Amino acid sequence: NQHLLTIDDLRVNFKTYGGEVQAVRGVSFYVDKGETVAIVGESGCGKSVTAQAIMGLIPHPPGKIVGGRVVFEGAEISHLPKKELLGIRGTQIGMVFQDPMTALNPTMKVGTQIVEGFVRSHQVSREEARKRSIEMLSLVGIPDPEKRIDQYPHQFSGGMRQRVVIAIALACQPKLVIADEPTTALDVTIQAQILDLLKRLQEEQALSVVIITHDLGVVAEIAHRMVVMYAGMVVETGTVEDVFANPRHPYTWGLMRSLPRLDEGEKQRLIPIEGSPPDLFHPPVGCPFAARCDFAMEICEQQMPVTDEFGRGHQAACWLHDPRAPRIEELVAAGR
């Protein structure tokens, strides 16, 4: 069975004055039809760059895909000429960014911006496109769409703008929507509303969604599967259920500890992961998390951990799961 989207050993470098940054270092995952996959990790882990690579938006120069493949519906799109890629981007893959203002043209009525998407993908008349645009605005929960369609982006609140961006992304009836931190710039109540909207649309339209986030709360809310990235690599992946119930990588443990617990109410305490990620100009030869890991062993610094499978596609890359490693209980007992 073919996946809708397959990322296979993707590598992306950026040339800078200081040298070459290895922003994405061999990332692999897939997205099936009708599922939401979250890519989660701290800023700088390569999650946005991975999304940009899927959409052909790596600025070149300074960025470049130096290895691996992006396969969409069975066809490799990572090395397509820009023009063909633009076609796929406009009609098969929709995009939602963190800041809705970057996605909107401030000088154009929102209606015109949605109509563009329809006309481009369906070759319908402007009149028909306008009718459908009003339907789209109402689908994404914008009240009074007949009036709102003739307004400009600045006449909308932040949350309403993000709804407009989602309407534009959906106007071309894409199979896949990529949302990069779609709620980060919004306040908490609006965040929840936008997540609900994305979830509802995903289910109703049987969409596939890749959502990029640093927030495990967002992952729990909306995703079926998750990919945890650290220092340009995938350190853990699996169903949200499995990873939350039984996380296998120390970095994921750290993320879980830094998640606010609703049941602890006022007393909730966030425990940040101490230290900072490695220098990706000169990435470590061994485990990228070793410098921050409470469980690091000698082998961790010397060799890249192998990826182990724990069933149902749950995988983690950590030496603790290697038969040669001491048992976690022993490390804990030794005060690690």
Residues that bind ligand SF4 (CB under 6 A): 249-250, 287, 289-290, 293, 295-297, 300, 305, 318-320
Name the nearest CA neighbour of 78 among 55, 109, 102, 45: 55
- Among ligand SF4, Mg ion, none, what binds residue 191 when CB lies within 5 to 8 Å by partner kind? none
**Phi, psi angle pair for 101, to nearest 5°:** -65, -30
Give least dist CB 86 to Mg ion, A.
22
Of 14 and 230, nearer to ligand SF4 (C-beta) is 230
Q: What is the 3-state secondary structure (H, E, C) of 213-264?
A: ECCHHHHHHHCCEEEEEECCEEEEEEEHHHHHHCCCCHHHHHHHHCCCCHHH
Tokens of 184: 């980060």
Of 118 and 295, nearer to ligand SF4 (C-beta) is 295
Give least dist CB 171 to ligand SF4, A.
43
Give least dist CB 237 to ligand SF4, A.
15
- Among ligand SF4, Mg ion, none, what binds residue 293 when CB lies within 5 to 8 Å by partner kind? ligand SF4
Task: Name 65's bridge partners.
Answer: 12
- Among Mg ion, ligand SF4, none, what binds residue 48 when CB lies within 5 to 8 Å by partner kind? Mg ion
Neighbours of 324 (CB within 10 A): 7
Give least dist CB 235 to ligand SF4, A.
7
**Are 318 and 249 spatial neighbours (Cβ–Cβ below 8 Å)?**
yes
Interface of this chain with Mg ion, residues 38 to 77, rule: CB under 5 A: 48
Our separate counts of H helices and E strands in the chain read 13, 12
Residue with tokens 């989207």, as numbered in its chain: 5
Of 207 and 320, nearer to ligand SF4 (C-beta) is 320
The site that binds Mg ion (CB under 5 A) totals a number of residues, namely: 1
Give least dist CB 320 to ligand SF4, A.
5
Helix pair 158-171, 110-122: axis angle to 10 deg: 20
- Among ligand SF4, Mg ion, none, what binds residue 300 when CB lies within 5 to 8 Å by partner kind? ligand SF4
